[in-house]
Amino acid sequence: MNSAIVVALAALAVTATLEAPPAAAQTPAGAAAQSAAAAPETSPLADGEVVKVDKGAGKLTLRHGPIPSLDMPKMTMVFRVKDPAMLDQVKAGDRVRFAADKIGGQYTVVGIEPAK
């Protein structure tokens, strides 16, 4: 009796494996999530003004316009920066254009440039 159960379970496992599509084809949503993770550099830039640069904490306070990609209205807030070298490019009072994303649960500036 036990061997019959083992054979039946093994057959079921083989059938499930054969019917499953390859991992890459299983979820288009998974592919979209990977594209979204790589998208910050291509995210639309938001307008902002640097209020404070905190190099020790690796943070930047920005007064910014709406950020549609994050469903965020106009406000002033503190962001982490993806690369601490970004903090050497700006100072309080600078007008900037920047891209931000939510990484590890924290809003993070992933790209920044002087406003033209």
| pLDDT tens, position by position, 37-68 | 333 455 689 999 999 999 999 999 999 999 99
**What pLDDT was estimated at residue 17?**
42
Compute the average pLDDT of residues 71-78: 97
The whole model's pTM is what? 0.63
Q: Are residues 16 and 52 in the same domain?
A: no
Q: Are residues 14 and 66 in the same domain?
A: no
What phi, psi does 43 have (nearest 5°)?
-65, 145
Q: Are residues 67 and 109 in the same domain?
A: yes
DSSP 20: S
* Domain boundaries, position 85: 42-114
Q: Are residues 25 and 62 in the same domain?
A: no
**What pLDDT was estimated at residue 33?**
39
Q: Are residues 28 and 56 in the same domain?
A: no
Q: Are residues 68 and 99 in the same domain?
A: yes
Residue 68: give its domain's CATH number: 2.40.50.320
Q: Are residues 34 and 55 in the same domain?
A: no
Convert the pLDDT of each residue in 1-37 to its tens digit: 555 554 544 454 444 444 444 544 444 444 433 333 3
